Amino acid sequence: MTHRKVLSPIFTVVVAFLICAVILGATSRQPRETLRWFFLGPFSNLYYFGNMLAASVPLIFTGLAACIAFSAGVFNLGLEGQYYFGAIVGTIIALSVPTSRLSSTLFVLVVSFSVGGLLSLASALLKLEFGFSELISSFMIGQIFIYVGDFMLNGPFRDPEAALAATRYLDEGIGLAKILPPSNLHVGYVIGLTLCLVFHFVRKHSVMGYEFKTVKENPRFAKIHGIKVEKIWLLAMLLSGGVAAVGGMVEILGVYGRAVRGFSHGNGFNGIAVSLLVRNDPALIFLSALFFAYLESGGEIASLMVQTPPEIVRLVQGIVFCLVTAEFLFRRSERDADSVA
Amino acid sequence: MLTQLLRSSISSALPILVAALGASFTQTVGKLNIAIEGTMLTSCFVSVYVAARSNSWLLGVTIAMILSCLMSLFVWFLHRYLRADIFVVGLGVNVAASGLVVLLSSILLGSKGTIFFEEIPKIPVLRFEALQRNETLRTLLSDYSVLELVAMFVVFLSWLITKTPLGLRMRAVGKNESVARQLGLNVDGIRISSFVFCGLLCGLAGSMLSLPLGLFVAGMTNNRGWLALVAAVLGGENPLGVLGVSLTLGFSVALSHRLQLFTALPAEIVLSIPLILTLCVVLIYNVLKIGEKGGSP
């Protein structure tokens, strides 16, 4: 890690905080109260703190998903759709398998993984077969399946007794164990961290990791070297979509207990920024996920306590996106090979 | 029925087409600006708000175009001078814009939902009296609003620009930056001008969505910016290609509106039709292209 690699994300975070504070202060009637709840709210008690950690769980998964794709030099812009649709299909399966067994939880996660993986695999195939940019195709396929998911929740799989478009509640036995009751924090946090670490080691210390890196940096060189570039791209996309979908499923098993329309609310997209904020370093993804979750919970608490519009968070997240890859104050010659370009 | 469908295809295609041409300028210089969706959304809000406040739709459009020009220059600035990844910045602008418009509407107008502007000035409509007698001709050729006519003119203008020295220089910069630089072209200036065009066009496209209706909703652009990007990428540097793809997109959007009105298909499925159709068109296009070359891509 060079100096710049550490300083740049910190600088981004500081700038984001400042902008956030200015916007909050300017738009609120009681600026001091608002700022206090926004920035200190998530730490004010164990319940809010646990919820903040819980809110970072889906971001860890989608961040890792984005990171996997970036590591092989491909883009997966369909994370939102994979996260959403994979989890919905998983939930529907979960409603019809015998519950309260660890094996059924695992089975459901595998189902989500395959569904999400297939969605992203489709855009990888389009890239290889027809040379159609995976950037656009993954986004479009993702969007289509968000609509399909909406349709499934509102139509055939809607719980007739529910007031909103949602499935029936899952049996409690299949859900993930809570860590810090009464907050929402659940075992998914540990699963997410483990996956990140596994990928970190795979990337650093395995042949596959070497192949990923070579393909990302120079596909032509990789090909000459005898690496099957197409295979690596397909694999990276498959894993990326799969991990995103598992993230959605974990969120449902751990927090929601059923699939609700619109439950993904930007978690898929934010995964991209989560990964980029730490320059695609899987070992640090949990930190940037926590940062995003902190903003989100701060916004939520502030809107609960002093009625700030929660959309401020989206604005701030957008600004973070804009600054994530910017290089402030640093010499240009040091351009990071790891940043996506 | 069919003529009406065609007419509404043209009307749905125009905003997409205008934005797509904007994106296509940036693509020509090799720096595709994907902040289109956010830029359009912001100008949607700004144009209708300013128009209602000042009671002048012209002012609304102008301010929206200037603002979206600034947004697109912002993207360029972050990319060029802070070396940010242009693609990530674009995503950021899109996310920030979706928060910004809701924030603005709740601060300025006290509501987050659909906002109707009742005293919005009407945009003049051009009516050909000679065509009033023939039903088909009337639906197809008459009753375009001034905004739509301006858009058509802009489309023509963009085509013209690609034929001027500036347009050719843009292509040169996009094809090979270092060669263009060695030839003494002002690469930065040319790229900035393409981003200015992009901003102006997106501003116009955004105003075309909100002004005629006199209302604003946070989800107003409804992926049109992304559709425009698809049109720009597929159409490439050729404005006529962009025109073709945009018309296809406009047709599928219009078709999905029809289906929503006249069939019992669920709304979610109908909403996804433009995307599915576009994907199919893209696939067919790519397959044909490969077929022409007679080899792998």
Note the pLDDT of residue A333: 42
Share of chain A above pLDDT 90, in %: 21
Nearest to A27 among B38, B107, B229 (CB): B107
Instruction: With a cut of 50, say whether residue A48 has pLDDT above it.
Output: yes
What is the average pLDDT across B247-258?
85
Contact list, A317 vs chain B (CB under 8 Å): 95-96, 99
Pairwise CA distance, residues A100 & A197, whole Å? 28
- Whether B96 sits inside 8 A of A317 (CB atoms) is yes
Q: Using a CB-CB distance cutoff of 8 angstroms, which residues of chain B are in contact with residue A144? A: 272, 275-276, 279
Closest CA to B109 of B222, B216, B204: B216
Range in A121-130, A144-153, A257-266, B114-123 the model is least confident about? B114-123
* Three-class SS state of B297: coil
| ipTM for the predicted complex | 0.79
> Mutation test of the interface with chain B: which of A325, A329, A332, choosing the one with the most B Cβ atoms within 10 A?
A325
Chain A residue with the nearest C-alpha to that of B297: A131
Interface check A122 vs B, CB under 8 A:
no
| pLDDT reading at A116 higher than 90 | yes
Sort out which chain A residues have CB atoms less than 8 A from B226's CB and list them.
Answer: 136, 139-140, 143
CA-nearest residue to A309 within chain B is B103
Q: What are phi and psi of A260, to 5 degrees?
A: -115, 140
- From B96's Cα to the closest Cα of chain A, the distance in A is 4
pLDDT above 90 covers a percentage of chain B that reads: 18
pLDDT of residue B296: 42
Q: Is A266 left (phi over 0), alpha (psi -120 to 50) or beta?
A: left
pLDDT tens digits, B167-193: 888 888 888 888 888 888 888 899 999
B96, B106, B229 ranked by CB distance to A322: nearest: B96
A131/B84 CB distance under 8 A = no
> Could A311 and B96 be called an inter-chain contact, meaning their C-beta atoms sit closer than 8 Å?
no
Are the Cβ atoms of B268 and A327 closer than 8 angstroms?
no
pLDDT bucket at B283, cuts 50 / 70 / 90: confident
CB contact under 8 A, A150 and B268: yes
pLDDT at A334 over 70: no
What backbone phi and psi angles, to 5 degrees, belong to A111? Answer: -60, -50
B53–chain A nearest CA distance, Å? 21
Q: For A157-185, what is the mean pLDDT?
A: 78
Comparison of pLDDT for B238 and B39, the residue scoring more: B39
Nearest CA-CA partner of A112 in A271, A260, A244: A244
Among chain A residues, CA nearest to B287: A130
The pLDDT value recorded for residue B131 is 67
Note the pLDDT of residue A3: 64
Instruction: Residue B245: list chain A partners with CB under 8 A.
Output: none
- Say yes or no to pLDDT of B156 above 70: yes
Q: How far is CA B288 from CA A40, B251, B281, in A?
A: 58, 21, 10
Per-residue pLDDT band for A2 (boundaries 50, 70, 90) equals low
Statement: residue A331 has pLDDT above 60: no
Residue B71 pLDDT exceeds 90 = yes
Higher per-residue confidence, A299 vs A245: A245
Look at residue A85 and tell me whether its pLDDT is greater than 50.
yes
pLDDT at A243: 94
Q: Which of A130, A144, A148 sits opposite B287 (nearest CB)?
A: A130
Looking at CA atoms only, how far is residue A129 from chain B in angstroms?
Answer: 8
CA distance B144 to B208: 12
Helix (H) or strand (E) holding B50: helix B36-54
Name the residue ranges covered by the structural domains of chain A.
Answer: 50-329
Q: How does the average pLDDT of chain A come out, rounded?
A: 83
Q: Give the number of beta-carbon pairs within 8 Å between A and B.
A: 147
pLDDT at A131: 77
CATH architecture designation of domain A50-329: Orthogonal Bundle (1.10)
B-chain residues near A321 (CB < 8 A): 88-89, 91-93, 95-96
pLDDT at residue A59 greater than cutoff 90: yes
Within B109-164, where are the H helices?
Answer: 135-141, 146-161
B98 contacts in chain A (CB < 8 Å) = 311, 314, 318
Query: For residue B287, what are the CA distances in angstroms to A61, A324, B105, B275, B282?
Result: 35, 37, 45, 18, 9
A100 pLDDT exceeds 70? no
* Chain B contact present for A22, CB below 8 A: no
- Secondary structure in 3-state letters for B153-222: HHHHHHHHHCCCHHHHHHHHHHHCHHHHHHCCCCHHHHHHHHHHHHHHHHHHHHHHHHCCCCEECCCCCC
Residue with more model confidence, A182 or A115:
A115
What residues have CB less than 8 Å from B5, skipping those under 6 apart?
A: B251, B254, B255, B258
Would you state the pLDDT for residue A99? Answer: 65
Q: Which of residues 315-334 of A touch B (CB under 8 A)?
A: 315-328, 332
CA pair distance A139, A55, nearest whole angstrom: 24
**Contact predicate B168/B193, CB 8 Å:** no
Q: How far is A210 from chain B (nearest CA, A)?
A: 24
* Mean of pLDDT values over B158-165: 87
For residue B87, what is the nearest residue in chain A, using CA coordinates? A341
Which of A164-173, A205-214, B194-203 ranks highest by mean pLDDT?
B194-203
Mean pLDDT calculated for residue range B250-254? 86
**Pairing status of strand B125-126 against strand B215-216:** unpaired
Rounded to an integer, the average pLDDT of B222-229 is 84
Binding-site residues on chain B for chain A (CB distance < 8 A): 38, 78, 82-85, 87-89, 91-100, 102-103, 106-107, 112, 223, 226, 229-230, 233, 266, 268-269, 271-272, 275-276, 278-279, 282-283, 286-287, 290, 297
- Nearest CA to CA, how far is B124 from chain A (Å)? 36
Q: What are the pLDDT digits (tens) for A232-290?
A: 999 999 999 999 999 999 999 888 888 888 888 888 888 888 888 788 888 889 988 99
Query: Residues A68-84: what's their mean pLDDT?
Result: 90
Q: What is the pLDDT of residue A35?
A: 82
- At residue A328, the pLDDT reads 63
Integer CA distances (angstroms), A54 to A243, B28, B279, in order: 17, 44, 36
Rounded mean pLDDT, A173-193 = 81
User: Which pLDDT belongs to residue A329?
Assistant: 53
Residues of chain B neighbouring A327 (CB-CB closer than 8 A):
82-84
- Name all domains of chain B by residue range, CATH numbers in brackets: 2-293 (1.10.3470)
Q: Using an 8 Å CB-CB cutoff, list chain A residues near B272.
A: 143-144, 147-148
